[in-house]
Chain A
Amino acid sequence: MATEFHNLQELRQSASLVTKVFVQRDYSEGTICRFQNKFPSELDNRIERTLLEETVKTLNSYYVEAEKIGGQSYLEGCLACATAYIVFLCLETRYEKVLKKISGYIQEQNEKIYAPRGLLLTDPVERGMRVLEISVFEDRGSGSSSPSSSMSSTGGSAR
């Protein structure tokens, strides 16, 4: 596994994007936000399966926490209704708090796990919660240009 990129900055500024891989939403539990735990085949030689699955599982648990309907959310809802929702001008909703936690988590994962492997996760919130976008950057290390070039050629022909 190439360990060319030692920090996120370097990745963002000087790397060349090969392709983007998308992890789609999993709607089997209804409308709750959940991402599929299917490992995309394009990342086979870039990252270990378990690492990505762990990331997706943690993200899913965060979203479950955000959308949980229970005591705290009822309290928040009733308080907000009683104040004609003016309270939301000052306070942050629980959902927003969890989303902040999620973006912190993604940043941390990018720095520790994905950037060293030439990958970059994009927070799903920036893609309208539709997909978890994984940008694949050029793997300059082991000289294994064939998989990346084949990926870029398929990417090019699809467009």
Chain B
Amino acid sequence: MHHAALDQQHHSHDQSGQYDHICTRSSGAAEPSFPGQRSRNPRRKWQLFPGRNRFYCDGRIMMARQTGVFYLTLVLILLTSGLFFTFDCPFLASNLTPAIPAVGGVLFVFVMGMLLRASFTDPGVLPRATPDEAADLERQIDSAGCSRPPPRTREVLINGQTVKLKYCFTCKMFRPPRASHCSLCDNCVERFDHHCPWVGNCVGRRNYRFFYLFILSLSFLTIFIFSFVITHVIIRSNRTGFLSALKDSPASVLEVVVCFFSVWSIVGLSGFHTYLISSNQTTNEDIKGSWSTKRGKDNYNPYSYGNILTNCCAALCGPLPPSLIDRRGLIQSDTPQTVSQSNQSNQSNGTSQHHSHMCDQDQCLQSTKSVLQAAAPLLHSAPVVLAPLPVKTTSLGGPCAYLAPSQPSLPSCGGDVLTLRDAAADSHCHHHLHHHHHHHRRHFVSPEETPCSTPLGALPCPAHLHLHPHLQGPAPPALYDPASQDALHEDSVRGLVKLSSV
């Protein structure tokens, strides 16, 4: 098979054991910007990167897969600033002071610099475990547990607080504390904060300060532009009247509108992140309430340094670790070829063939697996599934849809962590499957019908649409009976109402 052959070829080239088990098909689906190079032997490690990232400039720039909203951010900032400098600044410089365009210029350059830095930097992706490591871990896990399902969590005592380390099935390792797996990028990220579509990347350990400085400086820039455009219009209307002032500088209206609507969300977000930094928490931890005292009287944040100033300095001025994934490293073969080595390579070829077989069933199977894994314990980990449906995610209100990762439980309607009982969830899920499967056959009407109040609540429904092709095997033909359809419909709507009211 073509992919197995490619894998073997890659394996023979890459004996260092880093990425030799990675299927080229999955990295091909990540759509690199130079598809022509894929047919030749990959020279650099970014070309074999297993996550769903995009690389530009031969691996120097790294972004998430969906970058549409990032371009929107760029356009908004460039447009508003451009209009400000072209139409308002000449007037303000001559009538008030030339310091205004100067300060504005500095702010603008800083904002753009921070935005590009936050978008293009590796957020702290943890490379996946090599096959040897994964096998060693499996051996340890299996030998440790006497009970049938082997424990996939480890408990660690950090500063007197017990922290659970979870095993990541995709990356085949125990995640370090504060790390999380981003389902959109399919990577484990250190100190994972959230995945920001506006920035087009995850926000993690290596780019959190850039993200924070971006939103902070953007709030200053927005307020700056807003106030000076208003000043401009006021001065003009004092001279010539309000309406003619607006006619003379029509761009001002657009700028005021954009700034007015952005200032609330951006300033709010800056305030929120300032609070997070001062208490040394990540968005992920705050949303889940990991360190809140509601969980237990003795619950506290073990990572906090105790005082606000140290927390801020640590987050913003702490050491910046280098990228662990070595995107631009050259792929080389260096280990010796001996009998036991070839035995090992046979084993890994077996696994690589297995992986290529898995990849043949395409992204669909991977995302289905993640959906099933995520959906199994709790229903509302569904937002994760929206990776193949980007439009829905970006229509969420607020500047940053905080798309928390898959494995931990997620907030749904209401914002608190839901603790649905599995039985209830299963029955609702079951209803949804039948309900949506039927509607799926007719028309895509179901998402709109969900009576969930918050935007996040609408998300579980597309997830169920997604689940269908793979779980509908044993579906009885009685489903399509129109008489029972109405009863099912009513039932599931009631179920949805119950779900949303929790």
Contacts and interface: CB of A to CB of B under 8 A. Distances in A.
A95 B317 contact: no
Interface stretch (B72-80, B135-143, B422-430): B135-143
Interface residues of A, number: 49
Interface size class of B (residues with CB under 8 A): 35 or more
A45 B404 CA distance: 47
Interface string B142-169: 0000000000000011110001010000
Contacts of B199: none
A158 B135 contact: yes
A96 B178 CA distance: 23
B133 A133 contact: yes
A37 B183 CA distance: 34
A159 B177 CA distance: 28
Contacts of B389: none
Nearest to B191: A31
Given A30-B159, A31-B176, A95 B117 contact: no
Interface string A66-94: 11110001101110110011101000011
Contact of B318 (A21, A73, A129): A73
B109 A94 contact: no
Contacts of B209: 81
The interface centre, meaning the residue of B109, B313, B317 with most chain A CB atoms within 10 A of its CB, is B317
A69 B334 CA distance: 38
Interface in A98-148: 99, 125-131, 133, 138
B314 interface: yes
Interface stretch (B338-346, B442-450, B463-471): B338-346
A159 B173 contact: no
B336 A127 contact: no
A29 interface: yes
A17 interface: yes
Interface in B213-238: 213
A27 B176 contact: yes
A99 B322 contact: yes
Contact of B319 (A73, A125, A152): A73
A138 B109 CA distance: 59
B130 A73 contact: no
A128 B127 contact: yes
Interface string A8-38: 0000111111101110010111110000000
B341 A17 contact: yes
A132 to B, nearest CB: 11
Given A69-B318, A95-B319, A127-B133, A27 B158 contact: yes
A14 B136 contact: no
B273 to A, nearest CB: 16
Given A77-B318, A96-B322, A69 B336 contact: no
B213 A81 contact: yes
B474 to A, nearest CB: 35
Contacts of A77: 313, 316-320
Given A14-B336, A22-B136, A84-B110, A93 B317 contact: no
Given A18-B340, A30-B302, A69 B173 contact: no
A86 B113 CA distance: 9
A123 B64 CA distance: 29
B303 A30 contact: yes
Given A12-B335, A30-B158, A152 B340 contact: yes
A95 B320 contact: yes
Contact of B132 (A20, A66, A85): A20
Contact of A15 (B109, B336, B347): B336
A17 B126 CA distance: 26
A139 to B, nearest CB: 13
B372 interface: no
B336 A12 contact: yes
Contacts of B213: 81
B210 interface: yes
A125 B324 contact: yes
A27 B179 CA distance: 12
Contacts of B321: 66-67, 95
A5 B332 CA distance: 24
24 contacts: A12-B336, A20-B133, A27-B156, A27-B158, A28-B156, A28-B158, A31-B176, A31-B191, A66-B321, A69-B313, A69-B314, A76-B317, A77-B319, A80-B320, A84-B109, A95-B322, A96-B322, A125-B324, A126-B18, A126-B326, A128-B126, A128-B325, A129-B324, A138-B340
Interface of A: 12-18, 20-22, 25, 27-31, 66-69, 73-74, 76-78, 80-81, 84-86, 88, 93-96, 99, 125-131, 133, 138, 152, 156, 158-159
Shortest 8 CB-CB distances between A and B: which pairs?
A: A77-B317, A128-B127, A16-B338, A84-B113, A158-B139, A128-B324, A16-B340, A27-B156
